[in-house]
Amino acid sequence: MTTIRRTELIRPGMCGHNSLFAGQIGDWTWDAVAEACDTDVLRARDASGAPTYLSFFYYRIRGSRRFHLRTPAFGDELHITTRLFGFGSESVLTLHRITRSAERAARPLEPEDFYAFADPDCLYVENFNRWVARGTPGTNSGLVRASPPDFRHRHLPELPARYSPRHAYDRARRALTFLDHDGDLLESELSVGYEVDPSRDLNGAGLLYFASYFSIVDFALLRLWRSLGRDDRSFLDRVVQDQQLCCLGNADAGQPLDAEVRHWRRPDGREAVDVVLRDRTAGRLLAVCSLQLEGEKDR
């Protein structure tokens, strides 16, 4: 079974003006992989017996003004249709279509429809995950690929090559953006410092939690927002129609980071922001994120 359907009631710990909903979708990804691949994702171990984790390497959230990452609210009933695709023994791709309509949720989830992003009442989420383990005990800086021997993947269908996430994340690593900025106007640049917070940013395995990358990006985005003379209310009201994030490295508690922020005006009036996250000490590239937002006049 590679298509999974579920209905969820949104509770306080699942939504808000933060990364909670992104984290919740990540839990649904782990659930789907566990069910479809007969793998105990929560307690997976590699061939040597060491813990291994289904890490989030590439994460995309595509929505609309009617339904975006911060739309779900207390008490909303959401219908999630999920489909998995195989990328060998070390990776897996999961597509989620999220809607408040049971009728929409009943439709088949085909790649052609998913990547058209055509329904403004659906949120489209793409997760590309890789199995990783710590290369050196006691630090998060040297993660290595390590899949569990019982990870069953050969039955998963292949994604048509034109939709492969590799096209997106290879560009991000090379150009430090997911976007084609031809015709865009670079309006401002900003460098923001951040320190990995041991009281907030780590998950139960002691790794920098994937949803924390979204929080750190928002931390940098808020600093940009204020530098542009905008108030916090307009930040809370922002509509991010498309967000792409590639996590290229992890970090330890207390690690100082630098976020390089670039703000663009697009020809259609929308805004775009690129955030590049690095380890300040070693200069390691940790993440690249691109956001496309409604323009000020549209909010």
Residue 43, SS3 per DSSP: helix
pLDDT for the residue numbered 296: 66
Structure tokens at 74: 């207390």
Question: What is this structure's pTM?
Answer: 0.96
Q: Which residues neighbour 171 within 8 Å (Cβ) at sequence distance 6 or greater?
A: 177, 178
Q: Check residue 283 and give left, alpha or beta (phi > 0: left; psi -120 to 50: alpha).
A: left
> Where does a domain end: 109, 133, 158?
158
Say if residue 113 is in the same domain as residue 235. no
Domain-located, residue 163: no
What CA–CA distance (Å, rounded) separates 10 from 74?
A: 5
- Give 118: exposed, middle or buried? Use CB within 10 Å, 0-12, 13-18, 19+: exposed
- Say whether both 187 and 277 belong to one domain: yes
Burial of 50 (0-12, 13-18, 19+ CB in 10 A): exposed
pLDDT of residue 2: 77
pLDDT per residue over 75-115, tens digit each? 999 999 999 999 999 999 999 999 999 999 999 999 999 99
Looking up residue 136, the CATH number of its domain turns out to be 3.10.129.10
Q: Which of 104, 124, 158 is at the close of a domain?
A: 158
Of 136, 158, 180, the last residue of a domain is 158
Q: Answer whether residue 166 is part of any domain.
A: no
Q: Is residue 90 part of a domain?
A: yes
What pLDDT was estimated at residue 203?
97
Residue 142 lies in a domain: yes
Position 31 scores a pLDDT of: 98
Identify the domain containing residue 274 by its residue range: 171-298
Residue numbers of the chain with a pLDDT score lower than 50 = none
How many folded domains does the chain comprise?
2
116 falls within a domain: yes
203 and 149 part of one domain = no
Domain assignment present for 165 = no
